[in-house]
Amino acid sequence: MPLEYLNTEDGHRIAVNMWPAQGEARGALIWLHGMAEHGGRYAPLAEVLNTAGWHLYCPDHRGHGASVANGELRGHFADKEGWTRVLTDVAQLQHTVAERHEKLPLVLAGHSMGSFIALAYAQQYGSSLDGLILCGSDYKAPWLWKLALLPVKMARLRRGVQGTSALISALTFDSFAKKIAHRRTAFDWLSRDPTEVDKYMADPWCGHDCTTQLWHDLIGAMATIDARASMKKLPRSLPALLIGGDSDPMSGNGKGMPALYKALHKAGLADLTFGQFVGARHEILNDLCRDDVTEEINAWLRQHY
């Protein structure tokens, strides 16, 4: 895949996986990956979207994938203001993509943590977007996020901002794994397809621990993102597609996705589409339903652009 780099305002280099559309282009889509993975894993999605006339850009977040330079810490945004820096990175990439494809619609999408980043970005800059796709996402009342932040603060105090925490792992990834009966590996919660799980485990840029500060950045941001006032900042005319698995342990076995749909509906979004895939786990693009998922995305794009 073509790999290019963006030099950020604070001197960081962000790697961007880019796959150009085949034939006449219909639009550009920026896809934000999840925690402990990287943008290069979305090559199969790119193949489908490129054939349909869409350019696909998948940046590697700070501390992830090819954005980690020699000597930098994997699984870490920054010691301070990491969430703000990531949103600024997205803004810079959006500006670059919009300039490059100025007459084409631009859609922002994200999976898991990437969906939280995408939603936070749309709450601030939604008027500059033509669409929003949230994949494998979640929703909780802000007070629950604030409660979840307490053990993270304790872990950060004990381990430092660049440290990792067994307690946080036990409350998150390990907890998700335990929800899968007769699991073969610790990562079966990602997908029902053992081949895809093995590929994830063999990838040195996947499955790594993230720092206490990154977790603090993320969970602290979620308390704001899921607040009613933040949801109301979204442009009511912004089309949004929500897709996820109904057996995703990360979102309470899929319960978080309809809750997110309801929150967006209450916020006044007029064009909401929700697709939930029976039996699918967290990474629906790498699950047994992957073809149905890509067709759902393609159909939504065809309908709107």
List the domains of the chain with CATH numbers.
3-139+228-304 (3.40.50.1820)
Distance CA(56)–CA(93), nearest Å, equals 12
| Residues 43-59, mean pLDDT to the nearest whole number | 98
Count the Cβ atoms, other than its own, within 10 Å of residue 7.
10
Return the structure tokens found at 285.
């693009």
Share of the chain above pLDDT 90, in %: 97
Query: Whole-prediction pTM value?
Result: 0.98
Strands across the sheet containing 3-7:
3-7, 13-19, 54-59, 27-32, 106-111, 131-135, 240-245, 272-277
Q: Tens digits of per-residue pLDDT, 132-148?
A: 999 999 999 999 999 99
| pLDDT tier at 3, thresholds 50, 70, 90 | confident
